[in-house]
Amino acid sequence: MKTIIINILVIAALLVYAVPACADDVYENSTKINIDSSVDIDSMTDDKEEKSTLSTLYRNLDHYQNPKWSPDGKWIGFEAGHGIWIVPVEGGLPVPAYHVLGKMEVDESGTITGGETSCAYLFGFTPDSREMTFVVKIFDAERGSVVETVERNGYEMTGIYGSVPIIINVDIETGEKRTIVEESISGGWSPSGRYFAYQKMNLEGQIEYQRYMDAVIYEHIGDPETSQQKIDAMYDGLFVLDMETGEKWLVSEKGGDPCFTPDDEYVIFGQDDASGVRQLYRVPRMGGEIEQLTFYAEDEDGHNTYFPDISPDGQWILHTGIFGEHVSPYSGVYLFHVPTGQSFPLYPDSELRITNATWSSDGTQILFSTVKYPEMTTQGIYFYTTNFRAADYLNPTGVDIVLPEALALIGNFPNPFNPSTTIEFSLPQTGYADLVIYNVTGQKVRELISGQLNQGVQTAVWDGHDDQGLPVSAGVYVTRLRAENAVTTNRMMLVK
């Protein structure tokens, strides 16, 4: 199979082409990446078994998703059917870099005894672009994997419970694989390649969650609180692995979808806040104080942050989140500005939604996939690249913005403070606004303002007490100002 992969790479290089953006494309100034599966299987191999495998793989290419850009800018990796694929960034013939067809082990009675059951969750490429990193699930009875047949709505249903997730690397040229970490489900490389952050899975919790969700789907039982408890029980925390020393350590009790800042010093990840809304956080690579970055309200566009990807300059984070009234956590992509805390939806007026956006290595382009809204199915997903200037979202007119023409937290005075401070802010227009104080872990401390305010510069005083009137401890606190569809944050320090 390795020889076939190399041969397909050669064919792909000869068939590379791009579909230029035009009036019929989903977005103006974007380039659609054509995924061409019209390949002559007979010319690839004479082996009948390999022909059958390749035919099945290419036949399932209409369900591709989750694109990732290689750091050298040459390849795009994605998930489709039973495998992980790559295609030239200009489009063309995709290559099956890895698949699980025929890798499940069964005995004479047809009972599963081992092997690989699936592969998915592509995290991207290694920093040198030579390998792709993703999850392979294996059947391991010694670690709790089991095949169960249960009756649901009068029908017998057989399923695999407790497949063990293993994060692996696969060389895109040779097909050789190596294990990075076992019993883990999401991860990301530091730019230097020395560190790998990953979410550890609790195998017993995974099985219990699978059984619970079967009951929810087929017996219509369950409740949100129990569902969240089952989800929490599936994971054992967020870890960092030093690839040089083999040492690993816990950096957060919760959290997933990790990525590193450009200097390797911080891990960005998603985690539920105290109210159950998934936000973005960062933590030092070696562990320490966890800092909340986003403060989306439960009913606010952009909340439930998934798949963060930080820009090469460290100033911006692309993430997927809920848009409008749709309940899918993957219904839109948002651009978050780290220094100011501002968040912007990308293409909010399009009938299509973009998901899984990632940066090019120089930060001048983004790669994303599209899906028809509101159906939100894997049918009709396409990949696009586009030139992108994130700074235009801060200043779309290209001219200097003069306060109070923009929503802004001007500052608090004094800072640091004890016992009280005056927070100065500006509103671009009259309307509803709220001003809320949070601690760095994302817990709401004090709601200072909530209601109709006039346009212009305003002030509010915080006396260092919470909503219950109790004095808070010394430390860093975050001020969040929200008005209309805009949000901005600022930091201040209480000293005692």
Q: Is 207 within a domain? A: yes
Q: Which pTM was predicted?
A: 0.78
**Contact by Cβ (8 Å): 182, 163:** no
Looking at the structure, tell me whether residues 334 and 236 fall in a common domain. Answer: yes
Q: Is 403 within a domain? A: no
Q: Is 399 within a domain? A: no
Q: Is 336 within a domain? A: yes
Last-in-domain residue among 368, 394, 420 = 394
Looking at the structure, tell me whether residues 39 and 146 fall in a common domain. Answer: yes
HSE-up (13 A, CA, CB side) for residue 184: 27
Q: Is 224 within a domain? A: yes
Last-in-domain residue among 338, 359, 394 = 394
Looking at the structure, tell me whether residues 88 and 220 fall in a common domain. Answer: yes
CA triplet 182, 186, 189: central angle to 5 degrees?
Answer: 90
Looking at the structure, tell me whether residues 324 and 289 fall in a common domain. Answer: yes
CATH number of 220's domain: 2.120.10.30
Looking at the structure, tell me whether residues 276 and 320 fall in a common domain. Answer: yes
**Contact by Cβ (8 Å): 306, 320:** yes
State the residue range of the domain holding 119.
Answer: 2-394
CATH number of 458's domain: 2.60.40.4070
Number of domains in the chain: 2
Q: Is 401 within a domain? A: no
Looking at the structure, tell me whether residues 36 and 75 fall in a common domain. Answer: yes
Last-in-domain residue among 359, 394, 429 = 394
Looking at the structure, tell me whether residues 46 and 88 fall in a common domain. Answer: yes
CA triplet 223, 229, 235: central angle to 5 degrees?
Answer: 140
Looking at the structure, tell me whether residues 39 and 69 fall in a common domain. Answer: yes
Kindly list the strands in the beta sheet with 235-242, ordered across the sheet, starting from the edge strand earlier in the chain: 184-189, 195-201, 235-242, 248-252
Looking at the structure, tell me whether residues 204 and 89 fall in a common domain. Answer: yes
Looking at the structure, tell me whether residues 418 and 388 fall in a common domain. Answer: no
- pLDDT by residue for the chain (496 residues), tens digit each? 544 444 444 434 333 333 333 333 445 678 888 888 788 888 888 888 888 888 888 887 777 889 999 999 999 999 988 899 999 999 998 989 999 998 989 888 888 899 999 988 999 999 999 999 999 999 999 999 999 887 777 777 788 899 999 999 999 999 999 999 999 999 999 999 999 999 999 999 999 998 888 888 777 777 878 888 888 899 999 999 999 999 999 999 999 999 999 999 999 999 998 888 899 999 999 999 898 999 888 777 767 888 999 999 998 999 988 766 554 545 788 899 888 788 888 877 776 777 889 999 999 999 998 876 555 454 557 888 888 888 888 765 544 444 346 788 888 888 889 999 999 898 888 888 889 998 877 788 999 998 888 888 888 999 999 999 999 999 889 898 988 767 888 888 898 8
Cα gap 494→418, rounded to integer Å: 6
Comparing CA positions, the residue from 261, 393, 379 lying closest to residue 333 is 393
Q: Is 400 within a domain? A: no
Looking at the structure, tell me whether residues 327 and 459 fall in a common domain. Answer: no
Q: Is 70 within a domain? A: yes
Looking at the structure, tell me whether residues 441 and 385 fall in a common domain. Answer: no
